[in-house]
Structure 1
């Protein structure tokens, strides 16, 4: 079983003494963001449905004073309220919220056969961003805080049978700029649209794998490689910190240049 990369320390510690909630923070991109927050000197509450993955993070990080876990269903208002209560009880205040939780798979049932229940379930990342932002905003306003919503390049380009996922991620981008105008200047709100991010090594220990990536996989990207959770974590830290104090209401595409690449069928 491969080891998830260790927490990388940031020079200058731009999130020192700041508290950040990361939903879906126990694995994948969310874990990459949570580790980046810790490396930048911050404290993190990871919220995730997977209790085993959450507990594994705390054990592997061994930072009990700055990391905590709360099992959370971001589609349940009661669960989100409990998350905010637990965060404030543990850390006393809140400076940042990263709305990352949601279904990872972009492909669903063809639209003509999709039930309303599946459609609603596949919009969970959008519902979660609404509920978490709603209940976090009172605390964030007190600290001139920041929200980062994790969207996707699928908000801008698509494949067949991905309508619900695209709607959720496109909705997050629109939700971002609308909320930025509603909450500015007290709270800044931005989104990140990741492209292809290799998360195999960032799962719970039982599901952790070394990514199987070919030269062709890497070569598809103008940056020369497939993305890693650390790439999204670094951008999230920037957007959560005072380094980005003049940036709000924006979507930031982190895809190694793929959405700028013209692709023609042979």
Structure 2
């Protein structure tokens, strides 16, 4: 072989002509991912329990048909199926799915006081919700050679006391990710992002939006010197949803400013 490999042209809009569905997409990390996809040239279908937050996104973005919203309860199979159908009717195809909707509060008290109802709520929303979205989006994603990104948490790898239900649901997402990567490949790639401390205060709906109150000590805990932002997660999500990551599947990526590799001594 005499010819050397050519220098590839960098794609400044890797999401061009791609449609990405995002659960919990109207606030916080999900909104950061949605805006990253839009900035990269893509279109988004948001699904969120909070109808007011979803409507606010569309009003603030003013992007016409490139952004759509339907109220979504990921714990209800009928709601998920209708959300997927609405996306296909609006856009005609699906190229990516981001599963981020879930119960965010990890602290639920001692395990011996944790009710079965509350345990099931965590798993039913954080884990079963992702399963249902994958189940109904997978046929369309297979048609386009799409990608799935599950948003787990660094709590899938490390814990504070009394966070069993949350940790189990996020650990389950990591396992679901590598299992699906094997089953859905090669047509569909599946990866997970494990965010650490991400300040989402400025990424809420207008009436609850405010500047994060973070101390120097908060930032100093991180080897990179700051708390994370939704843009940090959005940048990796765009990579994992796009063709540049075509040889990446079944993996989980920690995005935490280095906190999980930092030794902690009292």
SS of the residue corresponding to residue 65 of structure 2 reads coil
**Cα displacement string for residues 197-237 of structure 1 (whole angstroms, at most 9, x for unaligned residues):** 00000011111110001111111101111000000000000
List runs of 5+ in structure 2 lacking aligned partners: 1-9
SS of the residue corresponding to residue 44 of structure 2 reads strand
Matches within 5 A, 1:68-147: 68-123=68-123, 124-147=125-148
Query: TM-score w.r.t. structure 1 length?
Result: 0.95
Post-superposition offset of 1:11: 6.4
Query: TM-score w.r.t. structure 2 length?
Result: 0.95
Whole-Å Cα distance in 2 between the matches of residues 188 and 61 of structure 1? Answer: 29
Matches within 5 A, 1:1-266: 12-123=12-123, 124-265=125-266
SS of the residue corresponding to residue 218 of structure 1 reads helix
SS of the residue corresponding to residue 36 of structure 1 reads helix
**Cα displacement string for residues 95-114 of structure 1 (whole angstroms, at most 9, x for unaligned residues):** 00000000111111321111
SS of the residue corresponding to residue 21 of structure 1 reads strand
**Counterpart of 1:4?**
none
Distance 1:192 1:226, change over 3 A: same
Post-superposition offset of 1:30: 0.5
Whole-Å Cα distance in 1 between the matches of residues 128 and 110 of structure 2? Answer: 22
Checking the alignment, whether the CA contact within 8 Å between 1:98 and 1:149 is kept in structure 2 is yes
How many corresponding residue pairs? 256
Whole-Å Cα distance in 2 between the matches of residues 175 and 63 of structure 1? Answer: 34
**Counterpart of 2:3?**
none
List runs of 5+ in structure 1 lacking aligned partners: 1-9
Post-superposition offset of 1:64: 1.4
Please tell me whether Structure 1 or Structure 2 has the larger radius of gyration of its CA atoms.
2
Checking the alignment, whether the CA contact within 8 Å between 1:180 and 1:248 is kept in structure 2 is yes
**Cα displacement string for residues 47-84 of structure 1 (whole angstroms, at most 9, x for unaligned residues):** 00000000000000000120000100000000000001
